[in-house]
Amino acid sequence: MNQILDVLIVGGGPAGVAAAYLCHKKGLNYLIIESGKGIFQGIANTYPEGKNVYPSKPKENPEPFLVEELRPPDKPVAVEKYIQYVQHFVQHENLAVQTETQFDDIKEEREHLSVQTSSGPIKARKVVLAFGSSIPKELSVYGDAKMVAKTLDDPKKYVGVRTLVIGGGNTAADVIISIMKEKRQAGDINPVYWAHIAETFDVNKETAQRLGEEILLGGNIRLLPGATPRIGEVDEEGVDRLVIRTSELKQPDGIEIYNAMSFPMKNVIACIGSQGPLPIFDKIGVQTIACAEGVCHVAKEGDRLILLTADFESTRKGVYVIGGAISPSYMRISGGTIQEEKHPNLIYTAINDAGHVVEAILKKIGK
Ligand SMILES: Cc1cc2nc3c(=O)[nH]c(=O)nc-3n(C[C@H](O)[C@H](O)[C@H](O)COP(=O)(O)OP(=O)(O)OC[C@H]3O[C@@H](n4cnc5c(N)ncnc54)[C@H](O)[C@@H]3O)c2cc1C
């Protein structure tokens, strides 16, 4: 993309979609990049199936929803319905969204910012980071393991292949149940391997019951406790692979003997949890402040909070951060003072942040 956008929006959740809609209405040249397959991927990944979505507002906040079109209905609907509604809205308004594009870094150029993404650099005058609070953890292995999936988008993709699922909790178990079910229905006897770095798996009773049921119905699962992913490598056919050590014996002479398995990365799903956005803030060099004793009321002592102006601009000029990414609180610079500002993680907050930030950008850009 060679043109310079007015605004690049990172993340297609409520904050990002609201920002895009307002940019669209105000005639700004914008684009949303979303790492998932579609908008609201973050919500689709984190809400349990059938969960109701509430139009909750913080008690102390009298401001109405600034984008009424994205407000969850008063009579709560299931998350699937809300997502479907928003997808239609985005299509109907013809909002510019580029999916399966992951934000990576921001470089400063003379006249604009150059945003590094998995689909190449994108130029923009302003960047709005709206990537939410839950950033999937990366596998810490040598080499590059970026091709490893972090969620299950389509269990059918794994029919006919030996699949490796990494992680020891309920999310990994749920992914395995879905794949086993799909394989069983398709008559595929290839196993699903379940690897975890610890010796025991940790799932709740309800998930364990569903897993047990799937196994009894013929699901083929192989457990790999105490297994560690080690390297990403490319084989002689050019296929990216992940190696996982399934046992190792350290000898007194310093030699290690181990067994390992190697899987094409496209057959691996790593359900190893998520983390807050702090590592991204550090990477792009925006300033954070650690809460000293007695300074913060929402955050704990020692927690690092991002420093933002009243317009949500970070210490990197032209880079704004909104929505769940700055919840449950951030440090606000206002009138020469810096104070912790409470910021509840709600659809309402995300949408209204977008309203304020687009107003601020309009003033700066002078459109
Ligand atoms: C189980 C659950 C139930 C909830 N119920 C309610 C409710 O009923 N009512 C309510 O008001 N709030 C609810 N919330 C909170 C609400 O969902 C969040 O406040 C809201 O989704 C935040 O919006 P956001 O746009 O900031 O972030 P998100 O919705 O997280 O969207 C961020 C988007 O950015 C994408 N992304 C992440 N990293 C990158 C990257 N590097 N590059 C590109 N894209 C990226 C993600 O895929 C995601 O689609 C609930 C939250 C949870 C977990």
Distance 293 CA to ligand 1 centre (A): 30
pLDDT reading at 133 higher than 70? yes
Pick the CATH number of 155-270 from 3.30.420.40, 3.40.50.10490, 3.50.50.60, 3.30.479.10: 3.50.50.60
pLDDT reading at 76 higher than 80? yes
The two domains 4-134+275-365 and 155-270 share their CATH topology (first three levels equal): yes
Domain boundaries, the chain: 4-134+275-365, 155-270
Please identify, by atom number, the ligand 1 atom nearest to the C-alpha of residue 133: 30
Beta carbon of 209 within 6 Å of any ligand 1 atom: no
**CA–CA dist 328, 319 (Å, integer):** 20
Beta bridge partners of 338: 333
Q: What is the maximal distance between C-alpha atoms in the chain?
A: 71
Please identify, by atom number, the ligand 1 atom nearest to the C-alpha of residue 36: 47
Beta bridge partners of 51: none
pLDDT tens-digit readout, 154-178: 899 999 999 999 999 988 999 999 9
Q: How far is CA 316 from CA 12, 32, 129, 212, 284, in A?
A: 22, 20, 12, 51, 9
**In the chain, % of residues over pLDDT 70:** 99
**CA–CA dist 334, 246 (Å, integer):** 54
Task: Kindly give the pairing relationship between strand 4-10 and strand 122-129.
Answer: parallel
pLDDT reading at 3 higher than 80? yes
pLDDT reading at 43 higher than 90? yes
Q: How far is CA 80 from CA 121, 156, 246, 309, 324, in A?
A: 33, 20, 39, 35, 20
Q: How far is CA 201 from CA 66, 80, 140, 183, 237, in A?
A: 45, 30, 20, 22, 34
Beta carbon of 267 within 6 Å of any ligand 1 atom: no
- pLDDT for 275: 78
- pLDDT for 284: 96
- Omega of the bond leading into 328 within 30 degrees of 0 (cis): yes
Instruction: Mention the CATH class of domain 4-134+275-365.
Output: alpha beta
- pLDDT for 140: 74
DSSP 8-state assignment for residue 345: -
Beta carbon of 155 within 6 Å of any ligand 1 atom: no
Beta carbon of 42 within 6 Å of any ligand 1 atom: yes
Using an 8 Å Cβ cutoff, are 243 and 230 in contact?
A: yes
- Average pLDDT score over residue span 69-91: 96
- pLDDT for 326: 96
Beta carbon of 82 within 6 Å of any ligand 1 atom: no
Q: Which residues contact 76 (CB under 8 A, 6 or more apart)?
A: 52, 53, 54, 55
Distance 53 CA to ligand 1 centre (A): 12
pLDDT reading at 311 higher than 80? yes
Beta carbon of 277 within 6 Å of any ligand 1 atom: no
Burial class (CB in 10 A: 0-12, 13-18, 19+), 235: exposed
- pLDDT for 335: 85
Beta carbon of 131 within 6 Å of any ligand 1 atom: yes
Please identify, by atom number, the ligand 1 atom nearest to the C-alpha of residue 40: 49
- pLDDT for 1: 62
Token pair in block for residue 169: 């909790």
Q: What is the mean pLDDT of the chain?
A: 93
**CA–CA dist 103, 115 (Å, integer):** 7
- Average pLDDT score over residue span 94-113: 95
